[in-house]
Structure 1
Amino acid sequence: MSQGVGPELTARIAANVEAFVREVVVPFETDPRRDHHGAPTDELADELKEKARAAGVLTPHILPDGRHLSQRETAVVLEKSGLSPLGPVALNTAAPDEGNMFLLGKVGSEELKQRFLKPMIEGRARSAFFMTEPAEDGGAGSDPSMMQTTCRPDGNHWVVSGRKTFITGAQGAKVGIVMARAEQGACMFVVDLPDPAIRIEHVPNTIDNSMPGGHATVLIDDLRVPADQMLGEAGEGFKYAQVRLAPARLSHCMRWFGACVRANEIAIDYANRRQAFGQFLIEHEGVGFMLADNLIDLKQAELTIDWCASILDSGAPGTSESSMAKVAVSEALMRIADRCVQVMGGTGVSDATIVEQVFREVRAFRIYDGPTEVHKWSLAKKIRRDWVKRQV
């Protein structure tokens, strides 16, 4: 059970984060430093992190003494960090780093924490999580049991080989968490990056571009990893993936909730300034009702996040609850982002504001950490299992 740091300290952290994002980060949204895929460069990310460090808001969900905010407290803070697409990058609350920090903090040895987790918390190292594999290889995607990447012991090392795809942040990362399968089952390793045995084959253009390093396809060719860099024991990889899974699903909801709050603010401002047919747009029922629906969806999403966070804080795994939250929140945020674009018309599909980017990012979020349909299928299987148990 997570005790957290209390509502007063949480409120102060969140207020400081919000002020930093609105006053310092937002002006950088038009900064031209982007790679050819449109993602912020590491130069831009590092400059923003330095400003966050100076303001005392870097990695705000982990206190200097190592304490981690509870999930409910984390939600309050990460929602504020998401008010700009650059906010999570600046504050070191972005995926996959936030989820990887959570995992290493929970299951890493003290040596691994010092070597890998500490520079991540300090914002001096980005990370990547190597699990998804190319469909053309028949590899793991929404079904991790299909994993094709293998690992085998060799003296006091393990040798890992395979291909991975859509590995967020792989280009430029300094820490990698790699999943592979052995005879005993799935295994998870923490590795230094770059490594000559891990080669980036391709970084595709994707609908989203808020995360440094893109979503790479990677070849792992006889990567040698010391045995003490395995998390847990051989065969426990899926167990540790579950430690990361539910909180990571939920933190995606938190960050993109903040982005949609901001997009809705922009749409409201536009609707109250723009006139058409002799009235402000907000006075037209078709527009006003869309913004009213946004308020309803935002509140329902906020409450769903808080509910799921409370389940995780109780110590429960929250697998089904996080699936429900991921579906409900991602679908609600998609509706909100779409309405914001619609309210703003041509301006909404342009780069005049961040509304167009938020729409793209949230569309991708419906796939991150499991598509809506996979979560519904998983929940349906649970419904069946629970019904069968009640019959005996």
Structure 2
Amino acid sequence: SAPILQTNRTVAVNAGLERAASPSLPEDRGSTKIPVHEASTTDELETRDRRVVLDFTHQRPNGSRLASGRGAVPWVPFIDIPLAASPRWVVAAPDGQSSIWVVLLEDGTVQAFRLTDRQPEQIEIAPKNLPAGMPPLLLVKDGDPVLVTVPSASASPLTHPTVLFRSGRLAFVATNGDLVLCDGGDCARLALNAPADGRLLVDERDRLLVLSHATGRYGHGVLGDDIEAAGVSLVETMPELRLAHTILIPEPRVIEGTSAIWTDITGDGEREIIVTISGEEDGAQVAVYSENGRRLAAGPAIGRGFRWRHQLAVAPLGPSGEMELAVVRTPHIGGVVEFYRLMAERLEIVAQISAFTSHVLGSRNLDMAADA
């Protein structure tokens, strides 16, 4: 796995989940540490122009935090890049024999670097500032990087827009919770009451998946505020914007996170929707739904309220390439990495690793860890 772990003014892009209390966490202040092994934290996507690369802080457009490449930290050399302030977000993209790294600082300033043959070069990128709470969405076309933004004051400053791969249209969450889809100056809306920090997921058919039905009924507040989602909505965009289905979570439970993972975990060729469901009585458990809302499987609940599970990625992580879901249980209090495998109608924990973390308490950044 390849987490991005933050320590004061340092970002480390690692190739293994770093121990929560490890003394080996980098102590450099105001720098980005980049391992020089061949790992890539990005995913090149098909668009109408094959020279376009679109990259997310959550690694994949389906919400799975899955990085390409291999490596082992701390046994690889690092490249230190001084920063002007503490980082909030990091995103990177391949560019031929180079890679482009973009860091959003705590004051909203953006710094960008091109890394070639282990040599970093600071480069210009537009815009030069973003809201400090907004995860950057990086687009590279013909070697020119740009951050994708919405020219609208109604867009939420706590999440990024996304680009539909087939049509090139732009979708975003508005401050009032609407889902907005724009084609040039023509925009359509769906009233979904999406959380302000909800991340839009997109598939190869230009469908969107977004958390919806924002609610304050579960006041855990470890992800930046007390607002979570009570539903997740699947939206068609072709030929027009249309709500296909919403999965609602019965009271008093919620979906605790900023997005689902939307991938095929069953192996049937269809995408499933994976979410972390939390409640005051028994804490968090991971559940798998079909796109039409049928609950297919669930893992065990923690058994105590206000205890979170951080779902990371679905990938062939098993010893023989079995498809597994990686999750960190209670990342703020002695985190344990759990590996789930789908067995009949249950998500079974088949392996665990103790004393690991993946998230900073109170941060909206859920992209500090990924699997590789």
Identify the TM-score tier after normalising by the shorter chain: under 0.3
> Which of the two has higher C-alpha Rg?
1
> Which of the pair is proportionally richer in helix?
1
> Which of the pair is proportionally richer in strand?
2
1 or 2 for the larger relative contact order (CA 8 Å, sep ≥6)? 1
TM-score by length of 1: 0.26
